[in-house]
Amino acid sequence: MSASEILALYDAQMRAAPPPEAGMRYERDGAVVRAIGAQNCIVFSDLAGVDVPAVIAAQVSFFRSIGTEVEWKVYGHDLPADLGRQLAAAGFVPGDPETLMVFDLAARTLRGAAPAGVEIRRVTDAAGLADLVAVSSAAFGRNDGWKMEAFGSRLADASLGLYVAYANGGAVSGARVELPPGRSFAGLWGGGTVPAYRRRGIYRALVAARAEEARRRGYRYLTVDSRDATSRPILEKLGFVALTGITGWTLAAEASPAPA
């Protein structure tokens, strides 16, 4: 399949009809598909030939009514081409740009053995999940404690794979793969390594481990929302191909009125 054909398949399977996800509800509102719950966002829109400001205003009104912020995920091929400009006019603020990248598991083998002294384990219990949370927090410089609740009930879920890399008796890197049933795409998320262990090939090994699980489970493609300055160069060396850009446009929740 060509890149444009893969992108069209991705839109159909992963955006226009998103696979079920714990803590999320998806609903279609005209030309828009929105997610409500653990994340509140517009995951898909096809606004060619429609009144774009009216559609944006309707979504703003909806998310204002439930008191949450909303992120509108705009992909590089979404129409109209000036959707970002129109979101900005409505008060949305752009996040850092990313690139949707894909790897064809049927066309190539993704190799990346763990470096000497590093062991990669699949998380199967609460202790392993705690290691994943700790290393993720250290790698990204934030509190990722929310993952204990988000993934704790999914440790036996076949649609989730969590991995941790260990060196010198401690967790040094972690990542996850989402394996939605009935889809062609497995998604790689959250790959991060603590600073002292970067540039040793651990991230590459975690990509390869998740790729092997996806291939074994019958998935055709791997996808990643990559950052140009961090993961994209590594992924390109592994054979991933850029499909399109992604920008998340966020509208903050309305501030509560000050008490009288």
Give me the pLDDT at residue 181, please. Answer: 95
Give me the pLDDT at residue 257, please. Answer: 57
Q: Could you give all domains of the chain from N- to C-terminal order, each with its CATH number? A: 3-97+246-251 (no CATH), 107-219 (3.40.630.30)
Residue-wise pLDDT tens digits, 180-222: 999 999 999 989 999 999 999 999 999 999 999 999 999 999 9
Residue with token string 């998103």: 18
CA dihedral sign, ordered 179, 180, 181, 184: negative
Give me the pLDDT at residue 256, please. Answer: 62
**70-75 and 41-45 strand pairing:** parallel
Give me the pLDDT at residue 44, please. Answer: 98
Give me the pLDDT at residue 150, please. Answer: 87
Collect the ranges in the chain with pLDDT lower than 50: none
pTM, entire model? 0.91
Per DSSP (E only), the strands in 76-153 are 93-94, 98-104, 118-122
